[in-house]
Amino acid sequence: MIIKHLPTYDISIYIGSQERYKGKEFGKYELMEEIANYQTLLGDKSCTVRITRCGYLYQNYWEKGYQISTINYCRFPKPVEIIEKFMIGLAERLLYKFNQNRISIVTPNNTIMLSQDDD
């Protein structure tokens, strides 16, 4: 048995599943297709991701959404800078593709918000 160790690095994108809160809802397969296209575009600078269905509740507003995560995977290790660049680039692509108001990216050290508007 071979055991490999790497420094842990876990980063997630949080995205709602509706365009601009009340618009068309997109599904998991549309999201998977867009992520796969981006991974193919980047080749060896891409990362393996996990897609988890989730929901967001704030007072009386509820929206379904997704958490898209990656780790520093021992089989295909990458520098943290490459992982972050991949996830920020993916979040920006998803922001416009799925017409989102904003998307959050959570790293071990901070939270980044991408927004189409200035609010």
pLDDT the model gives residue 118: 73
Q: With beta carbons less than 8 A apart as the criterion, state whether 73 and 59 touch.
A: no
pLDDT the model gives residue 22: 81
Closest CA to 96 of 75, 77, 117, 79: 117
pTM over 0.75: yes
Q: With beta carbons less than 8 A apart as the criterion, state whether 80 and 57 touch.
A: no
> Which fold, 10-115?
Alpha-Beta Plaits (3.30.70)
- If you search the block for the tokens 């927004």, which residue do you land on? 115
Phi, psi of 46 (to 5 degrees): -95, 170
Dump strand ranges (E) for 1-119: 10-16, 50-58, 61-71, 102-106, 111-115
Q: pLDDT tens track of the chain, all 119 residues?
A: 999 999 889 999 999 999 887 889 999 999 999 999 999 999 999 999 999 999 999 999 889 999 999 999 988 899 999 999 999 999 999 999 999 999 999 999 999 999 988 76
- The Cα–Cα gap between 119 and 73 comes to 36
CA–CA distances in Å: residue 83 to residues 53, 69, 94: 22, 11, 16
